[in-house]
Structure 1
């Protein structure tokens, strides 16, 4: 019987910024290690990835769960709406885990595993850890940002009280074996009831990792190795504390291939690669986007909130546009707004454009011009690596990918964080000196659509932009960009994977 190929499964859930960097690593790994069958498991909402990955011989499998499930920000979480959301989340989680199990069984259930088999997960795919344990497969963590959550303050004392033997097992672990540092750094959620009941009832594993499913006693005779954790950011940007586990490795930012970032196929075809191997596109976009190209040549200020709208934070798109209009009325700036496919925002833009006296001329279907040509709203996408060096400032939500792209471009930033690691990146960019103080949410997305709220938001935003355009911030941003340009995070990640797997 012919021996099957080893399999590398990349399991990544969450928004585009959570998933696409792992997809880039999967593609690079497939190109580097052709003896592997490489697969990506993610949400069906990211199905456009399958086209790009197919070119790299990476198979895509999808689950039906949404990238984000959010309760209405205006509802009382203790009321009826909150209860309904809780039930919906419980149902989606149950179905999501069943689909994940079905896919892993389909991939690895066809015979005995190989030493080279592995599952690579991000922090929103923790079910992959238990599935790897169930199928006796090595598990590796890869994340484009620092852990977006931390253990409760009482976690260690509670753990020590309720699981004294397991606590001793982890505290006394030999070098190279899973220890308390691993748990407190990222693994602690695996010890909560949220995972324990699923592990026990569905996977027939012990509710607590590293314990015997029958006796509940730690597996002293079988200590697993400390797992490799790869981070996709630069050491020049994020400090790496000595208390992190020894198997935590920092690669550099995981930038996506340029061809993945065009919504316009004709623009994508202009993609070229220079002799040094760096990716870039010509200054000319396709004929349908010449006006977009001309607008960008005016060095506009970029504004993009990525998935923030779809996550329920952009309640009043009209108020948001009014803030931008007010800033433009008191400054000589020009804005390019990426609407990120958020329908309520795009509908608002078209409604305002229809009422405006400014004449649209020769714009493509995905471009709408407002404010007498000072504000361009673009519903498509072009690579940030091409766009940001042509912008004066990048205003964004603090996502890891957008932050990294602005750093690489050497362009000053203004950040308005909303959740999770976005607050970390906002504060970190301020500390590095590449952005002014982070904006509060209501200074970009006012809670009230009244003149006072709009004027105050526009005033604060204008001041933030002015601060970002200072000579000090611009010089610091350029300095950081020159440093990051020398790094290749994806190649480093492939190197670490190969070392972990013993591949030449």
Structure 2
């Protein structure tokens, strides 16, 4: 039996699926990761078969001009440019999705590949498992954070989900139907699904996997109107990194910095104006008398003049580094938030785009981080960042709450439970 794990985007969009893939492999399944070429390195890191589809949906953020737009919060212009580029490769992407999935018996999909993989699973007659990376299933208990922030009346909260998913569906449905026609499938009525694929999921009561823990639900309790076929036991973590695989230079720096180490990084996405991150790091280490690991990711960060105080790395194992830190300064991407919460260490959040803002708000509500500071405001807010770092360093209450959340996350293995749930639902 062979299972394909499908999504596009950055490492954060793929790694939860890798955790599930490893779980299926442990059960004797053949597994493969399907994504754009950018995902190949991640597949190779974990020894997974990789198949590529055309396109580079996140490549735009690596270009200086568009990174500057990102830094200034001009997201709509970036979206418009991304959609223009997508038209140049999307026909080939669809052909690649069909070709790369011909021999699979199960399709597990991240959010950025839902429509394509759903149609292919229907054509193949195999189960389709959508994975949500946050509490974005429609509910009356709280609003969709991409539509509104304040928790209002139940009907208005629900409308915020319905409106966004309907609007997205209207933008997609003609494109989806063209693909369905090529596959020989019945077309979707344009106005029949008020929530797009969520309506289809609900009509068919399809299993939905949530790769998150209850602690990131805005109300801190499970909504009563979430269906029983929405399963979310915990974050989807890959196996812990062996200590012996840690880079010796990083290991030595961590040892010498014990008790006063902090982390700065924006995950797998490049930093808008990357050298501002270095300038910020230098101010923090000098003002607070700490040492820092700066994870540059895809960014080109200049070497620090404070070489003994700041170690610049391209990547690092969060599960080994974060618990050794006193504070974790990050962009509040879903994967980094999960790793930070698991570590039991307070955060300071500098969100850049999209779900990073509600993620940062949730960490502050949990009491494990001070209020977030948008990354675009950092050049004029160094004092505010320093104060947030100082608060996170000195607050015993924040540290206690971080440890309490970490204990909750250690109570279950989300990836293992989700694999068992999928197999029980479709293959028992």
Q: Into which bin does the TM-score normalised by the smaller protein fall?
A: 0.7 to 0.9
- What TM-score comes out, normalization by structure 1 length? 0.69
1:161 corresponds to: none
Structure 1 residues 199-238: aligned runs within 5 Å = 199-200=177-178, 201-208=181-188, 225-238=204-217
Q: CA offsets per residue over residues 306-360 of structure 1, 9 Å max, x none?
A: 2332xxx513x333322322333333122211111323x2xx22xxx5xxxxxxx
Q: Distance in 2 between matches of 1:435 and 1:132?
A: 41
Structure 1 residues 339-358: aligned runs within 5 Å = 339-343=296-300, 345=301, 348-349=302-303, 353=304
Change (3 A) 1:290 1:121: closer
Q: Distance in 2 between matches of 1:190 and 1:227?
A: 20
- Asked if 1:107 corresponds to 2:103, the answer is yes
Q: CA offsets per residue over residues 156-188 of structure 1, 9 Å max, x none?
A: xxxxxxxxxxxxxxxxxxxxxxxx99x949964
1:28 corresponds to: 23
Cα pair 2:130 2:208 within 8 Å, conserved:
yes
Cα pair 1:406 1:412 within 8 Å, conserved:
yes
2:400 corresponds to: 475
1:433 corresponds to: 367
1:500 corresponds to: 425
1:374 corresponds to: 309
Cα pair 1:69 1:89 within 8 Å, conserved:
no
Cα pair 1:63 1:99 within 8 Å, conserved:
yes
Report which of the two has the higher share of helix: 2
Q: Distance in 2 between matches of 1:258 and 1:20?
A: 13
Give the CA deviation at 1:292. Answer: 2.6
Show structure 1 runs of 5+ residues with no match. Answer: 1-5, 109-116, 154-179, 213-222, 260-270, 272-280, 354-369, 447-452
Give the CA deviation at 1:480. Answer: 1.2
Q: Distance in 2 between matches of 1:143 and 1:44?
A: 23
Deviates more, 1:371-380 or 1:300-309: 371-380
- Asked if 1:17 corresponds to 2:17, the answer is no
2:121 corresponds to: 132
Find the partner of 1:421 among 344, 355, 369. 355
2:222 corresponds to: 240
Find the partner of 1:121 among 89, 109, 125. 109
Cα pair 1:143 1:230 within 8 Å, conserved:
yes
Find the partner of 2:411 among 457, 471, 486. 486
- What TM-score comes out, normalization by structure 2 length? 0.80
Cα pair 1:151 1:184 within 8 Å, conserved:
no
Structure 1 residues 83-482: aligned runs within 5 Å = 86-104=83-101, 106-107=102-103, 117-126=105-114, 127-147=116-136, 184=162, 188=166, 191-200=169-178, 201-208=181-188, 225-238=204-217, 239-259=221-241, 271=242, 281=243, 285=246, 287=248, 289=250, 291-309=252-270, 314-315=272-273, 317-343=274-300, 345=301, 348-349=302-303, 353=304, 370-371=305-306, 373-381=308-316, 383-444=317-378, 446=379, 453=380, 457-469=381-393, 470-482=395-407
Q: Distance in 2 between matches of 1:59 and 1:372?
A: 39
Show structure 2 runs of 5+ residues with no match. Answer: 138-143, 149-157, 193-201
Considering Cα pairs closer than 8 Å and 6+ residues apart, tell me whether 1 or 2 has the greater RCO: 2
Q: Distance in 2 between matches of 1:78 and 1:464?
A: 26
Cα pair 1:296 1:391 within 8 Å, conserved:
no
SS class of match (1:41): strand
How many residues were matched structurally? 389
Larger radius of gyration, structure 1 or 2?
1
1:47 corresponds to: 40
Q: CA offsets per residue over residues 209-262 of structure 1, 9 Å max, x none?
A: 6999xxxxxxxxxx9621111111112442432222331111201111234xxx
- Aligned-pair RMSD on alpha carbons? 3.4
Q: Distance in 2 between matches of 1:338 and 1:285?
A: 14
SS class of match (1:70): helix
